[in-house]
Amino acid sequence: MSMKKRIAASAAAVALVSGLGIAGASAASAATPSCGPTCVNIFSPVFGNHKHPNFIVDVFKQGQAVGQPIILFRASNSDPAEDFTYSAQGTVGDFFAAGLVSAALNLHYHAFQAYEVEYSPFGADTGLCVGVGSTPVNGTRVTLQPCGVSARTIWVIDKFDVTKNGYAPLINGADTNFSHPFVLTYPQDSFPTDMPRPVLITENLQKFSNGSVNDRQLWSAKLGSVF
């Protein structure tokens, strides 16, 4: 049975916007008009803000294959490679009850919301989600992976570290390190226009002495129009 079917019986959908404090949809289109106002644009505070996210999560060269790299690319309302939908299927505890995440992840984050983010160019589901191809470690590349198969396509909002502006780290659901969890990261000293394009990775959560998190490990999202 798929992850979505197994979770649906025990978990109510919770809007991603409530998890991250995200900007709502505008009256305009999403990354493409076909994707619509419920599509989600994910971005880093390093390269813009809620009003003007200059670069957003993108599938490299619009590929629709397992292992296709996930990058940041210039925000556009006409680029189907930036079309994603999200599935808010419950808490980590719900996923644990369905046998889909580890007891250790449940112990630390059982009340936190967990999501899948599916690549949906022009609003069409592909069955491919943002994830990792193996148990995350430092430097694991983030790529398209089959949705609903394993915890590797689950992302948990780290509500311990949400900023005042609504950014938060995203912990991979297959994480095995709970003192320094593996989170979605934009590579250090990289820029979205670099060639070859830098690929998103997982890295241990990096916190400074004042409790703040490395900006490259903070994410937020905007529903609907990018601009």
DSSP symbols for 146-189: ETTSSGGG-EEE-GGG--TTS-B-EEETT---SSS-EEEEPPTT
- State yes or no: pLDDT of 102 exceeds 50: yes
Confidence of residue 89 (pLDDT cuts 50, 70, 90): low
pLDDT classification of 20: cutoffs 50, 70, 90: low
Within 10 Å of residue 28's Cβ, how many Cβ atoms? 12
Q: pLDDT value at position 225?
A: 72
Nearest Cα neighbor of 184 from 201, 208, 197 is 201
List the domains of the chain with CATH numbers: 3-219 (2.80.10.50)
Q: How confident is the model at residue 25 (pLDDT cuts 50, 70, 90)?
A: very low
Lowest mean pLDDT among 74-83, 102-111, 127-136, 139-148: 102-111
pTM of the model as a whole = 0.88
69 DSSP assignment: B
- Angle (CA) 48-44-171 rounded to 5° is 165
Give residues with Cβ within 8 angstroms of 105, minimum separation 6.
92, 96, 151, 156, 173, 175, 178
CA–CA gap between residue 121 and residue 118 (Å, rounded) = 10
Confidence band of 130 (pLDDT split at 50, 70, 90): very high
- Answer yes or no: is pLDDT of 10 > 70: no
Residue pLDDT, tens place only, 145-190: 999 888 999 999 998 999 988 899 999 999 887 778 999 999 999 9
pLDDT of the residue at 105: 87
Question: Mean pLDDT of all residues in the chain?
Answer: 85
The predicted structure's pLDDT at residue 178: 76
At 50-72, the pLDDT tens digits run: 778 899 999 999 999 999 999 99
**List of residues 6+ apart from 60 with CB closer than 8 A:** 68, 69, 70, 71, 81, 197, 199
DSSP 103: H
Closest to 156 in 3D by CA, of 136, 135, 170, 138: 170
- The average pLDDT across 132-148 equals 96
Give the residue among 84, 95, 67 at the shortest CA–CA distance from 4.
95
Q: How many other C-beta atoms are found inside a 10 Å radius of the C-beta of residue 222?
A: 26
45: cis peptide before it, omega within 30°?
no
**Spatial CA neighbour of 117 closest among 50, 191, 31:** 31
Q: What would the mean pLDDT of 80-95 be, rounded to a whole number?
A: 87
